[in-house]
Structure 1
Amino acid sequence: MEAHSSSQRGDEVKEVRWGILGPGSIARTFAEAVKRVPGCSLSAVGSRSFERAADFASKHDVERPHGSYLELVNDPDVDAVYVATPHAFHCEHAILALRAGKAVLCEKPLALNARQAEAMARASREEGLFLMEAMWTRFLPAVKWVGERVRAGDWGEVKFVYADFGFRSSFDPASRLYDLRLGGGALLDVGVYPVSFATMLLGEPESVSSAAELGLSGVDESSSYLLAYANGAQALLSSSIIVATPQEARIVCERGWLRLKAPFFRSTSVEVHSGGEVEMHDFAIPGNGFEFQIEEAAARIRAGAVESSMMPHQESVAVLRTLDRIREPWGLKYPGDEASE
């Protein structure tokens, strides 16, 4: 599908001019990375507070701060918007940008739940504008190489995937991490990494089993999940915001196994065990790693695409369907779930 807006006209757009919606901590990482990507520039930033937008702009050399998200998405000198607000607002803000004629790179997870993600994908198709989940790990050289080699069957079929992402934080009910209204908790914040990794390798599971420790604020502070697939493969995954975990990933295949050294979501080294031998494969990550997803998004925007084959809409929706199924037995519901029903 070709785009119809002035922000996305195939080869006519030489430089992709980005605007940041939500100047939080993850936005700082994006701002540092986008300036290192050829053919991209950071033109504007939008916040609910002009003072906060202006402060971010001065620190990151951004020309135009905006005191509202609406002003940002209506900025004629912005081609694409990076949505960096909390999980609970991804759907609203991504659709706001799409309806204003902007391409969108939206932080992970794409939305609170699968219904919201489907609505976002639908808006992307209706507007003929690019939308991609910013699952930056997918685009890193080590993870990309592993995905390609596993799909090619170099070591036979995948039998097991093990992955975890946990870190220790202090309980703070005012923090985004512990606020249920913002989609806080381990599952959406860091559990999405191992689930997305397993989805990349095995697709959507046939059955899901899970357990969680719910904290005082109602969010899942630690959780684990067993995903079972129609071909007999299994994924054993876990996440936590109260304990540090190894943050490694292992893939066990018929004729060998692989280990992505910690942290697997930003790994630069893959260990391959096969035929009684061990091979090491090292990969460089220049910058902070966000550059790779920005390059992919910019290339697809210039091509007039509505999605990326590396992180297509249907896969982001599938990840969220799995996340929905994982939390269902816990009785965990976010306030934003009701708005999307």
Structure 2
Amino acid sequence: MTLPLDPRTAPPLRWGILAPGGIAAVFADAINHHTRAQLVAVGSRNRDRAERFATHHGIPTTHSSYRALVEDPQVEAVYVASPHSAHLEHALLAIKAGKHVLVEKSLARSAAEVEEMVSAARTAGVFLMEAMWTRFLPHVAAVRGVIERGEIGEVVTVIADHGQNMNHLPLEHRLHNPALAGGALLDLGVYPVSFAHDLLGTPDRIHATGSLSSTGVDGQVSISLGYGERAQASLNTTLWSRTATTAVIAGTKGRIEIDTDFYRPTSFRVIGLDGTWWSFDREIDGGFQFQAAEVARCVAEGLTESPRMTWDNSLEVMRTMDEVRRQIGLVYPGE
């Protein structure tokens, strides 16, 4: 099986971080500890926050506006870590400044917003990618290898879930705020949806049921995707419970069981119909370094999109999620 290259072998790249929150801290640690890239600047509308983040992660330059960050000549690539409601605005800001851009998943709130981002990146000739880090992890590459070799036969069923107990968060938190495109789907549900797309492609049938929270975001969603005559995916996401966060890929000759958390670096077992099995287990620190390395390699090669996470991939995932939202009656303010 072909596993991802060591992220330290990727060319160096100078990063600027836009919106230094919790997810940005994870990204910064991965850059600093597992790549040859540099964190050269961070931008926040709150100068104190930017300075604290810069001090903690050894970043030499802080900016008190996003525009100043993207216009910083030191910065080659911008990591957009703001809430989903601002992804389009901030991605366009960076693209128009001529920077390469990695945008936290989900890439945007809707397919229409993704199309606008892609059009801008294409016109500017810069790299743009959704930060769906799962696609670049070693165990996912190994899973795809198992399937491509035919070890489990024809894939007929994919089951995946991602639920986290967010009941402790205050109601003003972004996950509970419709204006910030909160809810389970864009933050958590994108993982199983993107996983199903990665393995089975674009579905031709989508059925969804969901429950909205007291603040008007999606608290829980169950999704069934259909592919041709046989293949199906059963997916679930919730803000109200910590679920198993595992995945199963079942085929006509066997199955793959991916341990918790399926979307993070983890292990899996390949089990044949006769009960024989083997396991994959490769412990690694972090995980975000693999997507950062992908950006660096693509930029060095002059690519504007990743072959592993193409613009069409992100657009197809978002179209599925648009239809899910339509079926459960979820509309974000301003749509």
8 Å Cα contact 2:11-2:297 kept in structure 1: no
CA distance in 2, matches of 1:112, 1:324: 8
SS at match of 1:244: coil
| Matched letter for residue 258 of structure 2 | L
Instruction: Could you tell me which runs of 5 or more consecutive residues in structure 1 were left unpaired when the two chains were aligned.
Output: 1-12
Q: Is the 8 A contact 1:87 1:111 kept in 2?
A: yes
Q: Return the offset for 1:78.
A: 0.3
The partner residue of 1:130 within 127, 132, 142 is 127
Q: 1:1-341 residue pairs with structure 2 within 5 A?
A: 15-170=12-167, 171-276=169-274, 277-285=276-284, 287-336=285-334, 338=335
Is the 8 Å Cα contact of residues 161 and 243 (structure 2) preserved in structure 1? yes
After superposition, the C-alpha distances for 1:282-317 in whole angstroms (9 at most, x for unaligned) are 1222x2111111111111111111011111110011
Any idea what SS the aligned residue of 2:160 has?
strand
- Write the distance in 1 (CA, Å) between the matches of 2:181 and 2:144: 29
Looking at structure 1, the residues matched to 33 and 305 of structure 2 have their Cα atoms a distance apart, in angstroms, of 23
Residues 17-52 of structure 1 show CA distances to partners (whole Å, capped at 9, x for unaligned) of 000000010000011011134431000000112222
Aligned partner of residue 36 in structure 1, secondary structure:
helix
Contact 1:128 1:306 in 2 (8 A): yes
Take 2:87 and 2:255, find their aligned partners in 1: how far apart are those partners?
Answer: 36
Partner of 1:8: none
Q: Percent identity?
A: 45
CA distance in 1 between counterparts of 2:42 and 2:265 reads 30
Letter in 2 for 1:49: N
Task: Give 2:5's aligned residue.
Answer: none
Runs of 4+ with deviation above 4 angstroms = none
Q: TM-score, normalised by structure 2?
A: 0.94
Q: In 2 relative to 1, CA 331–275 (structure 1 residues): closer, same or farther, beyond 3 Å?
A: closer
Partner Cα distance (1:50, 1:231) in 2:
56
Contact 1:166–1:245 (8 Å) recurs in 2: yes
Coordinate RMSD, CA, aligned: 1.4
Unpaired runs of 5+ residues, structure 2, are 1-9
Return the offset for 1:185.
Answer: 0.5
1:91 and 1:227 mapped to 2: Cα distance?
Answer: 27
Q: Give 1:317's aligned amino acid.
A: L
Q: Distance in 2 between matches of 1:262 and 1:71?
A: 40
8 Å Cα contact 1:251/1:259 also seen in 2: yes
Q: Tell me the distance in 1 between the aligned counterparts of 2:145 and 2:174.
A: 35
Quote the offset at 1:275 in angstroms: 4.0
The residue type equivalent to 1:133 in the other structure is E
Letter in 2 for 1:150: I
Contact kept, 8 Å, 2:205 with 2:225, in 1: the verdict is yes
Q: Deviations over 1:188-245 (max 9, x none)?
A: 1100000000000011111111111111100111110101112421000000111111
Task: Report which stretch shifted further, 21-30 or 324-333.
Answer: 324-333
What's the TM-score once normalised by structure 1's chain length? 0.92
